[in-house]
Structure 1
Amino acid sequence: MTSSRGTGFATRQVQAAFTAGSPAFGAVPPIHQTAAYEFANLEEAADLFALRRTGIIYSRNANPTQQVLEERVAALEGGLSAVAVASGQAAVAVTLLALAGRGGHIVAADQLYGGTVDLLQETFADFGIGVTFVDQDDADAWRAAITPQTRVLFAETVANPIAQVLDIRLVADIAHEAGVPLVVDSTVGTPALIRPGEHGADFVVHSATKFLSGHGTSLGGVVVDMGSFDFGAEPEKWPQFTAPYTRFGDLVLWERFGAGGAFAALVKSKYVHDLGPSLSPFNAWQILVGIETLDLRVSRQSATALAVAEFLAEHPAVARVHHPGLPGNPWHERALHYLPQGVPSVFSFDLAGPEDGAPERIARLIDRLQTFRLVANIGDARSLVAHPASMTHSHLSPAQREAAGISLNTVRLSAGLEDPTDLIADLRDALVEL
């Protein structure tokens, strides 16, 4: 079910991966609300279960609505294939599990979403996967952290919540020098503003719950394989792709599916199949509907966020604004290079004053806000506020928060689609006498 009607980004986000042709000739991809599928005969069923032919076996692994979503996001990122799962957290988990393998090692940026840090430093430790965290701007630290067991480098294009912009090409080159792929979480960046594969990233992860969906109703996650990493170059390093896949006899994924296919086949047939982080057909459909307006929403949100950041930068109650669109921000020049279409709408600011009284000041500020909503989410149509130190990054140690640039005074904003003047007025009223 593919469409070749134009190659522009806006055309792809509305039409990619679906051509009307069902018996009802629906113009919009339908919701295939089914748990299982009827096979034509036993031979077909046996071939599908053995991966001798491609197709859908059961909705835990795949669903036709989900497949349209996968193809569409892959088209937006310029990748060869994609896997959609139940959440962004699940997308990060299955991607890194598939690449790290048994006893593998990951080098990750200090500047990550708090839930991702929880996954890496605790759950992955339980699985015997080692993780070393480094400052994403320190090239020497990336190189020094790589060991013979390292199988992947991981970072975010624009970090949540301080909005540090990753030098993707630099880190990709370091990864490739070591013979490992770079995985980038581009949830905040979105393919409307940046496509990491064009700068050397090999896999791109999204929490589709956020900007891709845009309406805050549905959980989902997607990982895109750019098809750029050659697992066959050092086959002994990647037995999960280059050695016989024991549950399928003598099948070798790299030989059967090649670049752009072996990774997706492994993730779906093992990690999604075994662990079950399946995306529901309805949520897949909701995210597809959201994607149709992605570039319009992101452009509006980006402009709004910059206007809000400029207001905050001049306010006496604000000590610092972490927005790379502002001149003087440490990542401003990098944003101009990597984000010429605009800077994402998720950023933070620090209230003025000592950290000793921060909780009380933060509580007064947030409780006064009327238009901004106190919600643990980003990328919504609504403008959202959060306090990272007590919410999304509350499990981090003080040293980890400092490494990520987060203080007790830090407030995170996600600009929505409301009138910018209303958002600025809301903040102005809330900041009085702080």
Structure 2
Amino acid sequence: MDAGMAHDSNLKKLNEYLIETLGQLVEAKKEAAALREQVTNLEKKLTEHDRLNASRKFENDELRGRNAKFELEMKNTNAALQLATKDRDVLNRSLDASKMDVTTQQKRANTLEQQLRKLDEEKKALARELQAAAQIVRVDIGVNTNPLPTPRSTPNDTKLPVVRGPSTAGPSRNRNVKEEQDMMADIIAVNPPSQLPLLRKQTIENVPQLIPDLPDGGTVCFTRPFITSHIGGGSQALISNIATPKSLALKFGITSYLCPNLWENPWCPTSPGMAGYMFVGLGEEIHYFVQPEVHELFVGVAKTNYRLMGRYQAHRVEPLTVEEWLTLPQKVRSKYCETTQRKAKDSRSIEGISAAYERGELRAPCVKLTCLDFKEDLYNKLKARKMRQNNMTPSSSQCSIQQEYPVTRSSQKRRCIETVKVDESSMDSDSDSSEYKMIRPEKRLRG
């Protein structure tokens, strides 16, 4: 009995222990579950922390890269700004210099304009004075037996230039007392070509100047229709290509010729063999003479009179500068502006085109003319045909253009006065002969 009760007591204690232990295990399990949950949460938090750290590191790296790039851009921007500032300063200085230059050029232009007006007034006054005093020599047909003129002293002991006189001699008409005393003949002369600028003159000074061996100096002139009928080509174009050559063209191998005139090309040669320039190259002529071309050259010395100068090489050179343009007579510039408007199809007015030339926006093309040879037989045949056609002799009334150029013969340079003579009857008072003025070269002594 006691043993059973003891056993029951022990069993009860065991059950209580087991129940207590089970309760402890349940609590422990709950605690373990809670700990695992905490561990899981901690792991998640740690993972999130690591992710955030990595993200923060990436963002920091990206920010550092952007910052470095921004600093580089700022550096480049600052450098560019400094360069722009320097350029601005340079441009400001250039603008100031340009304003000063424009002011200087304007003053110079105003001064030149005043001088031109003054010279024009003096020219008109001199022309009126000379026209009142001068007389025209009428020469009879015949053979000249008088000697060529020689230099003679003037009252101021200055030497007058020696020029070739007319090919015949005869009595003059209406000579006044002073002319009889001076033994001088009055000649109507075309206004000589514009004075060549220094650099242009130096360029052609060393070019050999041919002097054809002609008794009359090659002074007989021909009209464009006459040239067309005896050589070929057109009678209007400046550059005449011969499609149907006449007998003289075939005989002398002429395939083309040029016909510039002095009232639009005042730097053209005025005597056979002389070098010079012409202002050709507008419109359809823009591509001409880029490479050297060879043509016969006739130069218009009056409205219908063209003089044979020889066979020339024509080659484009540097266009006229503003300074060179302003040296040309106003009438030449105005005429050339009209030509520019027509050939270049420029929609501006003549005044607008003139202003463009004076500003240097437009530049007149320039073609250098260098004589290669002179066909004396061609000149003599043209002259003979003209004499037969007009029933005239070399003693017809003539007029002279005088210009001084360096001429070489036998490889030795010398200075001479070249004389261009054209038929007096061809001069038209309504044409560009308004540029003509009176000169008084030396007369030949009578036999």
For the criterion TM > 0.5, the same-fold answer is: no
Instruction: Tell me the TM-score normalized by structure 2.
Output: 0.25
Instruction: Tell me the TM-score normalized by structure 1.
Output: 0.26
Higher RCO (CA < 8 A, seq sep 6+): 2
Larger relative helix fraction: 2
The structure that has the greater radius of gyration is: 2
